[in-house]
Amino acid sequence: MSRQVDMALMSAHEYRRRLAEPKTVLLLPVGAMEQHGAHLPIGTDWMMAQFIARRVAARIDGIVAAPITYAAKSGVRTGGGNFQSGTTSLDGITLITMVKDIVKELVRHGARRLTIIDGHFENRFFLDEACDLAMRELRMDGIDDARVLKMVYAAEFPNPLIDAVYTDHEFPGLDLEHGGLLETSMMLYCYPEFVQMERLGNESAARFPPYDLFPPRTEWVPASGVLSSGLSATPEKGRLLVECFVNQVADAINAEF
């Protein structure tokens, strides 16, 4: 369980040995560099995706590739908008191409069981497109037995978990869980040294109309950059969330690979 799981930190010789073992799964965390209010770090999305990927890898003896840190632009209604300072994003076309390149390289190494763990909602269709293109180009190059499982880490939210976490206010929906109770609790559990609870104000959940504007109306977004309240966050709630999501990812991998 204490084996190194990070591909970047192991030697290529070790990596090859690990990849040659039967059924080794290679996990690729994807997040974002995105403002998460005054209390959470800019790297929150990829840090959480990486944390969960490492936990899963430790359990299934997998390998975690270096996380994709710069990724899709932040949506106004799901991340505060890409006009925010600190939010550092790629054009969608760049992201598609970058993820495609990386998936193809990992498959070239011999990986056939890839799992992408996504921690940034706005990556969704760009990751799908990247995977589709990678499969197409690999097929053109004679490789048709590689498979990618792509999963948002908070894909499913069982009711008991919601009840245990949302003790002080209602679950605002995942779209508004940007810097809110879910992420704050998880970060308190995983990376407490980078959470500044004292900077967290009392925010009610943001309210948005059911459409997007370009250029965005910046005044739609609360000054904090946070879309719902993380005030009742605790490390224990974070533990429950992380364990649930780790189980979900591990179950998916076991079901498919």
Residues 14-73 that bind a second copy (CB under 8 A): 14-16, 19, 33, 35-43, 46-47, 65-66, 68-70, 72-73
Q: Among 77-85, 159-167, 181-189, 236-244, which window interacts with a second copy (CB under 8 A)?
A: 77-85
The answer to whether 248 contacts a second copy (rule: CB under 8 A) is: yes
Separation between Cα atoms, residue 129 and residue 139, nearest integer Å: 15
Q: Applying CB under 8 A, which of residues 21, 140, 170, 219 lies at the interface with a second copy? A: 140
Contacts with a second copy in 161-190 (CB under 8 A)? Answer: none
Active site residues: 34, 36, 45, 120, 122, 178, 183
Inter-residue contact 40 to 87 (CB < 8 Å)? no
> Could you tell me which stretch among 5-13, 54-62, 167-175, 229-237 binds a second copy (CB under 8 A)?
5-13
Shortest Å, Cβ 74 to a second copy: 10
Burial class (CB within 10 angstroms; exposed 0-12, middle 13-18, buried 19+) of 239 = middle
* CB atoms near residue 8 (< 10 Å): 10
Find the distance separating the first CA and the last CA of the chain, reported in whole Å.
20
Angle at 76 between CA 126 and CA 134, to 5 degrees: 5
Residue 194 sits in the site that holds a second copy (CB under 8 A):
yes
Q: Please tell me whether residue 9 binds a second copy under the rule CB under 8 A.
A: yes
In the complex, least distance from residue 158 CB atom to a second copy, rounded to whole angstroms? 11
141 vs 236, beta carbon nearer a second copy: 141
Q: What amino acid occupies position 32?
A: A
Question: Considering the rule CB under 8 A, would residue 3 count as an interface residue with a second copy?
Answer: no
Nearest to 111 by CA among 59, 163, 64, 164: 64
Helices (H), 61-170: 76-79, 92-108, 124-140, 159-165
Residue (135 or 186) nearer to a second copy, CB: 135
Q: Does residue 13 belong to the site contacting a second copy (CB under 8 A)?
A: yes
Tell me which residues in 100-119 interact with a second copy (CB under 8 A). 101-102, 105-106, 108-110
Q: Which of 3, 23, 199, 207 binds a second copy (CB under 8 A)?
A: 199
Q: From the CB of 146, what's the least distance to a second copy, in Å?
A: 9
Extract the tokens encoding 85. 């300072």
The nearest distance, CB 82 to a second copy, in angstroms, is: 7
Q: Which residues in 186-221 are b (16+ Cβ under 10 Å) and which e? A: bbbbbbeeebeeeebeebebbebeeeeeeebeeebb
Per CB under 8 A, 133 contacts a second copy: yes
